[in-house]
């Protein structure tokens, strides 16, 4: 079977990881990545020996890029013409402009959480609504927090039927290496409900959701507390079993030394994961508690890498590679090496 040809637009925090994720999929081929010029990730790409071909979104920058000894394979339009589907990881708003290029050449595309919902035919999540993405032209992924949140809620929902959730997000203020947010020593509260709760209801309209978001001056991961109300009573032990059996959820505990977000980031580095990335969310076993019928737990969201599996799912759905949801996510999980801790 011929491999699906994929391109990545925007070689930044998410784009680098998307490129690596596609390169790991044995039934996909990464044709190349596109960016605007000599960014730090592009410098690193050159120093690593150019494992991926580089295309320029701003052709006028070619001379400056080649002056740095970085080979250029063509323009963004050249890349689009060579692929079956594009993963667009550009800054919010740029993807909507790039969509015109994708439409010009009749190519499908997947956009990230920062774009507005109307950029795509389907607001997509691999586990929760895979079928809705089948054979669609344009898909949009949920944000990092929403992606991880939906994984956990969907996991319980398919067993017990979740009626509603109330969430609190303790949100990292910026990615590692970002300076534009400033150096802060403060917490900042957003108006309720936060967009993650609203987005969850868009993906899972049968669940009522609301929540509060608090920005914190940290960089390595978000933490979400969830209070879920099931239709059918579910024990802590059953919830724990469901979480443990999910390849994109890692159950940890404070007794093991996982005291918070920094512990998980350090553990990913100790595992030798590139960039200290984790594709899976973590749920602390010792935060799973019952309050009457409600069940409460806390999740860690590794914001730089958590959406990569769902992007691979989106390619599978849009290109009709697998029509069965569980078959599709299982292949993504296999090629990304997810669930190894379960063995």
Residues with catalytic roles: 144
Alpha-carbon distance values, 102 to 79, 84, 142, 220 (Å): 10, 10, 21, 34
- Please give the C-alpha separations between residue 20 and each of 226, 248, 300, 318, 327, in angstroms, as whole numbers: 31, 18, 22, 20, 21
CA-CA distance, 137 to 128, in Å (whole number)? 19
Tokens representing 38 are: 């000599």
SS3 91: coil
If DSSP states are collapsed to H, E and C, what string results for 19-54? HHHHHHCCCEEEEEEEECCCCHHHHHHHHCCCCCCE
Cα 249 to chain centroid distance, Å, stands at: 14
Q: How far apart are CA 243 and CA 284, in angstroms?
A: 10
d(CA 204, CA 338): 24
Contact 98, 124 (CB under 8 A): no
Please name which of 258, 208, 246 lies closest in space to residue 228, comparing C-alpha atoms: 208
> Residue 315 corresponds to which tokens in the numbers above?
């390619």
CA distance 113 to 87: 12
The 3-state DSSP class for residue 318 equals helix
Specify which residues 282 forms β-bridges with: 250, 300
Which three-class secondary structure state does DSSP give residue 243? helix
């Amino acid at each position: 079977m011929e491999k699906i040809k994929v391109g990545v637009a925007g070689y930044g925090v998410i784009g680098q990881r998307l490129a690596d994720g596609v390169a790991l999929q044995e039934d996909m081929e990464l044709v190349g990545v596109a960016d605007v010029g000599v960014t730090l990730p592009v410098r690193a790409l050159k120093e690593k020996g150019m494992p991926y071909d580089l295309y320029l979104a701003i052709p006028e920058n070619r001379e400056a890029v080649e002056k740095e000894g970085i080979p250029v394979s063509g323009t963004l339009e050249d890349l689009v013409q060579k692929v079956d589907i594009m993963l667009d990881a550009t800054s919010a708003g740029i993807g909507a402009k790039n969509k015109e290029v994708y439409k010009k050449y009749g190519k499908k595309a997947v956009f990230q959480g920062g774009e507005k919902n109307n950029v795509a035919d389907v607001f997509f999540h691999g586990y929760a609504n895979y079928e809705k993405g089948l054979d669609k032209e344009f898909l949009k992924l949920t944000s990092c927090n929403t992606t991880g949140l939906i994984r956990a809620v969907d996991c319980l929902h398919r067993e017990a039927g979740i009626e509603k959730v109330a969430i609190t997000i303790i949100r990292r203020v910026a990615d590692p290496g970002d300076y534009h947010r400033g150096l802060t020593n403060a917490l900042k509260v957003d108006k309720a409900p936060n967009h993650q709760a609203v987005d969850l209801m868009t993906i899972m309209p049968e669940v009522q959701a609301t929540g509060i978001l608090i920005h914190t001056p940290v960089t390595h991961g978000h933490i979400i507390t969830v209070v879920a109300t099931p239709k059918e009573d579910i024990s802590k032990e059953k919830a724990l079993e469901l979480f443990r059996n999910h390849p994109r959820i890692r159950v940890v505990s404070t007794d093991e030394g996982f005291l918070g977000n920094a512990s998980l980031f350090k553990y990913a580095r100790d595992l030798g994961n590139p960039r200290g990335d984790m594709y899976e969310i973590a749920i602390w076993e010792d935060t799973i508690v019952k309050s009457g019928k409600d069940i409460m737990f806390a999740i860690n969201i590794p914001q730089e890498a958590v959406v990569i599996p769902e992007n691979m799912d989106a390619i599978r759905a849009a290109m009709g590679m697998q029509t069965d949801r569980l078959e599709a996510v299982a292949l993504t999980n296999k090629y990304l090496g997810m669930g190894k801790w379960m063995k």
